[in-house]
Structure 1
Amino acid sequence: MSSLSLAIADSTTMLRRNLLHAARYPGLTLGSLGMPIVLLLLFVYVFGGAIGPGAAGGGEYIDYLLPGILLLTVASGSISTAVAVCTDMTEGIIARFRTMAIFRPSVLTGHVIGSMILTLISLALVTGVGLLMGFRPNASFTDWLGAAGILALITFAFTWLAVAMGLVSQTPEAASNIVLPLQFLPFLSSTFVPVDSMPAGLRWFAEYQPFTPITETVRGLLMGTPVGNQWIAAIIWCVVIAAIGYLWSRSAYRKDPSR
Structure 2
Amino acid sequence: MTRTEVRRHSLALESCLFAGRLFAKWRRHPGVPVQALLFPTVLLITYNLLVGKSMAMMTGTDNLDALVPMCAVAGGMFGAIGAAIAIPNERSGGLLTRFWTLPVHRASALTGRLLAEATRTLVGSAVVTAVGVALGLRFTGGWLAVVPYLLVPVFIAVAFATFVTALALRSEGTALFMWLGTSSIGLVFASPGLAPVEMFPGWLRPFVEHQPMASVIETMRGLSTGELTAAPALVTAGWVVAIMAVFLPLAVRGYRAAARGE
Larger deviation, residues 227-236 vs 120-129? 227-236
Corresponding residue of 2:180: 179
Q: Is the 8 A contact 1:98 1:104 kept in 2?
A: yes
Unaligned 5+ residue runs, structure 2? none
The one of 186, 203, 206 equivalent to 1:204 is 206
Alignment of 1:138-153 (within 5 A): 138-153=140-155
**What amino acid does structure 2 have at the position aligned with 1:182?**
S
Alignment of 1:156-171 (within 5 A): 156-171=158-173
In 1, the alpha carbon distance for the partners of 2:240 and 2:11 equals 26
Measure how far apart 1:254 and its partner are: 2.8
The one of 201, 205, 215 equivalent to 1:213 is 215
Measure how far apart 1:40 and its partner are: 1.0
Measure how far apart 1:6 and its partner are: 4.6
TM-score by length of 2: 0.86
Measure how far apart 1:204 and its partner are: 0.9
TM-score by length of 1: 0.87
**2:102 pairs with 1:92:** no
Q: In the comparison of the two structures, how many residue pairs are matched?
A: 256
Measure how far apart 1:142 and its partner are: 4.3
In 2, the alpha carbon distance for the partners of 1:20 and 1:49 equals 41
**What amino acid does structure 1 have at the position aligned with 2:261?**
S
Unaligned 5+ residue runs, structure 1? none
In 2, the alpha carbon distance for the partners of 1:119 and 1:93 equals 25
Q: Is the 8 A contact 1:81 1:111 kept in 2?
A: no
Change (3 A) 1:48 1:107: same
Corresponding residue of 2:53: 49
Measure how far apart 1:33 and its partner are: 1.8
Corresponding residue of 1:123: 125
**What amino acid does structure 1 have at the position aligned with 2:178?**
N
Alignment of 1:15-34 (within 5 A): 15-34=19-38
**What amino acid does structure 2 have at the position aligned with 1:83?**
I
Corresponding residue of 1:66: 68
Measure how far apart 1:22 and its partner are: 1.5
**2:14 pairs with 1:10:** yes
- Over the matched positions of the two proteins, sequence identity in percent amounts to 27
CA RMSD of aligned residues (A): 2.4
Measure how far apart 1:73 and its partner are: 1.7
In 2, the alpha carbon distance for the partners of 1:128 and 1:156 equals 22
